[in-house]
């Protein structure tokens, strides 16, 4: 098979086998620890600008299933230990190799993903290039930055998704790079969802007679989204609001909080999160490289923390009928422990007395 190289910005070279598109790509190299869910990973818009490494060794064994897509493929490259090109699944409609070829994304297999993961954990997230010829200079690799990610992945126009069964609520979803299962979770609870572009003015939402506002996940540095943050500041407190991942970070920034880039982030389906209100620990699915600084919060109470490094995983704003979480309660191919948070959002929209609990 054709050789391909993964070259880190510090000059370390890993030789492997090429699959996917015949292309050269630079990106931010990150790893995810999920043992399943590679389809959701490859179609999660939050991975915009990143080369994704799977720590689980065997990838592709159940093929590609379009019905499980979370969005469009935004990864810059894909790194695996062993690639399966003969999937066994009655729902499969193709292979990972075919999927990446169709979308112009290069992949590499046969590299020591354990060693590369250790490097990232010790050094921190770094840039890398997938290439067939090792470049003489790595200046372009070192200079790479993810910018305007939300603008690239957000919907360009308003779209409506009807409630499943009888309509109970109308929800405005601000799309910063939403995962499809957020829509599914809302719709199956009787919500008709209007999806809006990331830069929709607050006045447009407030004029829509909505029962609540949903803030989606998305890619990149949350602090660069000055426009959306300003609009959220106008919306805050006017309607019940629920933020997930980037939406969680933007809500905090709109209320004077701060965010920080983590050394290597949290990506995987086995991340423990502790509920400070009750002491219970949930296993969650996560995909983020930034975190809200708990000490910076001026208008909100930290509700959830990451059990390993104690970073902020959720904030309650009881006076504003708003709350947010860093993890993914809508996770497909991941733990469903926290799906009740959508019920909590519906309770807030319904004006239930104990919805803040």
Distance of alpha carbon 201 from alpha carbon 115, whole angstroms: 46
Q: Active site includes 295?
A: no
Distance of alpha carbon 341 from alpha carbon 58, whole angstroms: 32
Active-site hit among 28, 185, 231, 330: 330
Contact 18, 107 (CB under 8 A): yes
Contact 273, 304 (CB under 8 A): yes
Overall size of the chain counted in residues: 357
Contact 335, 282 (CB under 8 A): yes
SS3 314: strand
Give the E-state strand segments of the chain in sequence order: 3-8, 13-20, 25-32, 50-54, 58-59, 77-79, 82-83, 106-109, 126-131, 159-161, 169-174, 191-196, 212-215, 241-244, 259-275, 281-292, 301-306, 312-317, 322-325
Angle at 286 between CA 282 and CA 288, to 5 degrees: 140
Active-site hit among 245, 312, 332, 346: 245
Q: Active site includes 245?
A: yes
Distance of alpha carbon 123 from alpha carbon 31, whole angstroms: 13
Count other C-beta atoms under 10 Å from residue 135's C-beta.
14
Place of tokens 């930055």: 145
DSSP designation for 78: E
Distance of alpha carbon 94 from alpha carbon 66, whole angstroms: 9
Distance of alpha carbon 263 from alpha carbon 54, whole angstroms: 18
Active-site hit among 40, 328, 332, 346: 328
Run of H or E including 235: helix 226-235
Distance of alpha carbon 159 from alpha carbon 157, whole angstroms: 6
Q: Active site includes 328?
A: yes
Contact 287, 254 (CB under 8 A): no
Contact 253, 223 (CB under 8 A): yes
User: What is the Cα 23 distance to its own chain's centre?
Assistant: 25
User: What is the Cα 333 distance to its own chain's centre?
Assistant: 14
Positions annotated as catalytic residues are: 245, 328, 330
């Amino acid at each position: 098979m054709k050789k391909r190289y993964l070259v880190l910005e510090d000059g370390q070279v890993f030789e492997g086998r090429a699959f996917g598109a015949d292309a050269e790509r630079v990106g931010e190299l990150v790893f995810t620890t999920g043992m399943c869910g590679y389809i959701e990973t490859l179609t999660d818009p939050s991975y915009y600008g990143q080369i994704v490494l799977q720590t689980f060794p065997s990838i592709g064994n159940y093929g590609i299933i379009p019905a499980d897509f979370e969005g469009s493929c935004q990864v810059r490259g894909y790194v695996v230990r062993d690639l399966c090109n003969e999937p066994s699944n009655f729902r499969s409609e193709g292979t990972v190799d075919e999927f990446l070829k169709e979308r112009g994304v290069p992949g590499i297999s046969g590299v020591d993903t354990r060693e590369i993961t250790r490097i990232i954990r010790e050094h921190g997230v770094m840039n890398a290039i997938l290439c067939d010829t090792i470049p003489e200079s790595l200046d372009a690799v070192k200079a790479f930055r993810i910018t305007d990610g939300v603008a690239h992945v957000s919907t360009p126009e308003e779209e409506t998704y009807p409630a499943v069964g009888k309509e109970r609520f109308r929800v405005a979803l601000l799309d910063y790079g939403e995962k499809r299962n957020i829509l599914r979770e809302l719709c199956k609870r009787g919500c008709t969802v209007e999806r809006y572009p990331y830069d929709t003015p607050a006045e447009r939402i407030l004029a829509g007679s909505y029962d609540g506002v949903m803030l989606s996940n998305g890619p990149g540095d949350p602090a660069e989204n000055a426009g959306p943050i300003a609009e959220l500041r106008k919306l805050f407190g006017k309607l019940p609001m629920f933020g997930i991942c980037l939406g969680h970070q933007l809500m905090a920034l709109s209320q004077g909080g701060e965010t920080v880039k983590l050394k290597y982030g949290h990506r995987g389906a086995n991340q423990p999160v502790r509920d400070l209100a009750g002491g219970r620990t949930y296993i969650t699915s996560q995909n983020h490289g930034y975190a809200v600084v708990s000490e910076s919060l001026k208008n909100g109470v930290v509700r959830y923390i990451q059990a390993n490094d104690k970073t902020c995983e959720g904030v309650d704003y009881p006076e504003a009928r708003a709350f947010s979480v860093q993890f993914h309660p809508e996770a497909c191919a991941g733990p469903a422990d926290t799906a009740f948070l959508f019920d909590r959002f519906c309770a807030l929209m319904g004006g239930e007395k104990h919805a803040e609990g």
